[in-house]
């Protein structure tokens, strides 16, 4: 039993933060997107595109920062498909998202073979972002909090900054207010001369950028290769984090920490071999956590009123 408690140490918390990062990034993107009224279930695919692009560019240039930048841009471009389908073509949001997920899986598998000559896994990148792990002066000296939060790798720090940025964006800026209003009552926005289409395009692209970054984390920060389907459902977990976080940036972050913890704990339990249980059982942890969180928390928060609804000014007759 004593062994069990030794599991709960600073290291566990450190990996909680680390492992929650991709979920946080995708979730906060989903928050912006859904706040503007567009349901986005394509984060899984967006992350995959980001992960592959990051490895590809980091591999050919030898510079992981270029990989990172390319991943973000690729995520943004791929998300345009979702924006075009749902906003301009008025397709169903879930259908479009599902199609993009499948497309992204196929596309990355294909490009993987094209670029590296074999399926499954890419060549490792020469330099990964893991090598840029650094401790923030002063802040990392704080007991517990210091080593947990402030001795991390670059994308983890970026996710902290983005949470603050998007919270300010949503609640303090004009565009943020327009995003929130567009997801509640788009027609009202049009009647005061604000283009809902523009706002929604912006919001979808934001979710593409953050998901792309999340993908880069998976492939060139937390690892150094791209593996086929390496997102492993994190895009969907991010969706759940956004929902159970009550469609807010900070809420998404906290919910993602919960999922990150489930994953970190799972690795620990596997490694510790405390209980003589098959490891598959532990692998289920994050997914079970998702089910519990969504089932338990979702009912308390209210989704944006117009989320998922098609919007046109001159509707067909009702």
Partner 1 sequence: MEREKRKDGICLRMENISKQFPKVLANENISIYLKRGEILALLGENGAGKSTLMNILYGLYRPTCGQIYINNHEATLLSPKDAISLGLGMVHQHFMLIENLTVTENIVLGMEPGSWGFIDFKKARKIVKELSEQYHLFVDPDAKIEGLSVGQQQRVEILKALYRKATILILDEPTAVLTPQEVDGLFVVMRSLQERKVSIIIITHKLEEVKAISGRVYILRRGKLAGERVTKDISKAELAHLMVGRDVVLTLNKENRITEKKPGFTLQNLFVKNDNGVTALNNLSLEVCPGEIVGIAGVAGNGQKELEEVLIGIRRIEKGNILLTGKNISRYGVKKRIQSGLSYVPSDRYRYGLFLSMKVSENILASSLDRKPYVNGINLRLRVINRRSEELVTMYGIKTPSVHEPVSNLSGGNQQKVILAREFSREPVVLVVSQPTRGLDVGAIEFIHSEILKMRDRDTAVLLISMELEEIFALSDRILVLYEGSIVKEFDPGKTSHKEVGYYMTGGGER
Shortest reach from residue 172's CB to partner 1, in Å: 5
Residue closer to partner 1, measured from CB, 37 or 215 = 37
Per CB under 8 A, 202 contacts partner 1: no
Per CB under 6 A, 191 contacts ligand ADP: no
How far apart are alpha carbons 65 and 128 in whole angstroms?
9
How far apart are alpha carbons 306 and 318 in whole angstroms?
17
For residues 86-121, one letter each, b for 16 or more C-beta atoms within 10 angstroms of the residue's C-beta and e for the rest, the string is: bbeeebebeebbebbbebbbebbbebbeeebeeeee
Per CB under 6 A, 172 contacts ligand ADP: no
How far apart are alpha carbons 174 and 29 in whole angstroms?
18
Instruction: Tell which one of 1, 114, 275, 317 touches ligand ADP (CB under 6 A).
Output: 317
Which residue, judged by CB position, is nearest to ligand ADP in the bound state? Answer: 317
Per CB under 8 A, 193 contacts partner 1: yes
Instruction: For the beta carbon of residue 290, count every other beta carbon within 10 angstroms.
Output: 23
The option from partner 1, ligand ADP, none interacting with 2 (CB < 5 to 8 A, set by class) reads: none
Task: Identify residues 297-316 at the interface with ligand ADP (CB under 6 A).
Answer: 314-315
- Residues facing 121 on adjacent strands: 227
Which span (13-21, 176-184, 278-286, 292-300) binds partner 1, by CB under 8 A?
176-184
Site string for partner 1, 50-79 (x = CB under 8 A): ------------------------------
Residue closer to ligand ADP, measured from CB, 1 or 317 = 317
Per CB under 8 A, 185 contacts partner 1: yes
What would the DSSP string read from start to end of 45-72?
Answer: HHHHHHHHHHHHHHHHHS-HHHHHHHHH
Contacts of 191 (CB under 8 A, 6+ apart): none
Site string for partner 1, 135-174 (x = CB under 8 A): -------------------------------------xxx
Shortest reach from residue 90's CB to partner 1, in Å: 15
The option from partner 1, ligand ADP, none interacting with 305 (CB < 5 to 8 A, set by class) reads: partner 1
The option from ligand ADP, partner 1, none interacting with 184 (CB < 5 to 8 A, set by class) reads: partner 1
The closest alpha carbon to 304, from 8, 17, 32, belongs to: 32
The option from partner 1, ligand ADP, none interacting with 299 (CB < 5 to 8 A, set by class) reads: none
Q: What is the largest CA-CA distance in the chain?
A: 69
The two three-digit tokens of residue 13, written as one number: 């918390």
Per CB under 8 A, 314 contacts partner 1: yes
The closest alpha carbon to 216, from 59, 13, 15, belongs to: 59
- Residues facing 151 on adjacent strands: 135
The closest alpha carbon to 18, from 269, 267, 228, 251, belongs to: 267
The option from ligand ADP, partner 1, none interacting with 180 (CB < 5 to 8 A, set by class) reads: partner 1
Indicate the angle between helix axes 234-244 and 10-35, nearest 10 degrees. 80
The residues of the shown chain that bind ligand ADP, judged by CB under 6 A, are 314-315, 317
The residues of the shown chain that bind partner 1, judged by CB under 8 A, are 172-175, 177-178, 180-181, 184-185, 187-195, 305, 313-314, 316-317
């Amino acid at each position: 039993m004593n062994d069990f408690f030794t599991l709960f140490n600073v290291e566990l918390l450190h990996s909680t933060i680390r492992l929650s990062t991709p979920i946080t990034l995708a979730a906060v993107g989903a928050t912006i997107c859904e706040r503007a009224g567009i349901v986005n279930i394509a984060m899984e695919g967006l992350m995959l595109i980001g992960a592959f692009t990051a490895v590809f560019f980091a591999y050919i240039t030898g510079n992981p920062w270029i990989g990172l930048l390319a991943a973000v841009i690729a995520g943004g471009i791929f998300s345009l498909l979702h924006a075009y389908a749902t906003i301009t073509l008025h397709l169903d949001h879930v259908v479009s998202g599902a199609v993009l997920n499948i497309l992204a899986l196929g596309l990355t598998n294909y490009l993987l073979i094209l670029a590296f000559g074999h399926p499954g896994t890419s060549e490792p990148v020469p330099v990964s972002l893991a090598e840029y792990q650094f401790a923030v002066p002063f802040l990392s000296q704080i007991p517990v909090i210091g080593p947990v939060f402030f001795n991390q790798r670059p994308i983890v720090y970026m996710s902290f900054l983005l949470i603050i940025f998007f919270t300010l964006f949503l609640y303090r800026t004009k565009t943020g207010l327009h995003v929130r209003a567009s997801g509640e009552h788009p027609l009202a926005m049009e009647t005061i001369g604000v283009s809902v289409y523009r706002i929604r395009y912006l919001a979808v692209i934001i979710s593409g950028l953050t998901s792309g970054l999340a993908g880069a984390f998976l492939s060139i920060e937390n690892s150094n290769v791209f593996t086929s389907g390496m997102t492993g459902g994190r895009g969907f977990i991010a969706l759940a984090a956004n929902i159970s976080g009550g469609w807010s940036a900070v809420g998404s972050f906290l919910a993602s920490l919960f999922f990150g913890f489930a994953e970190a704990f799972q690795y620990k339990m596997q490694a510790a071999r405390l209980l003589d249980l098959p490891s598959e059982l532990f692998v289920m942890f994050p997914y079970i956590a998702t089910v519990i969180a969504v089932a338990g928390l979702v009912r308390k928060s209210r989704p944006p009123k117009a989320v998922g609804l098609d919007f046109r000014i001159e509707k067909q007759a009702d």
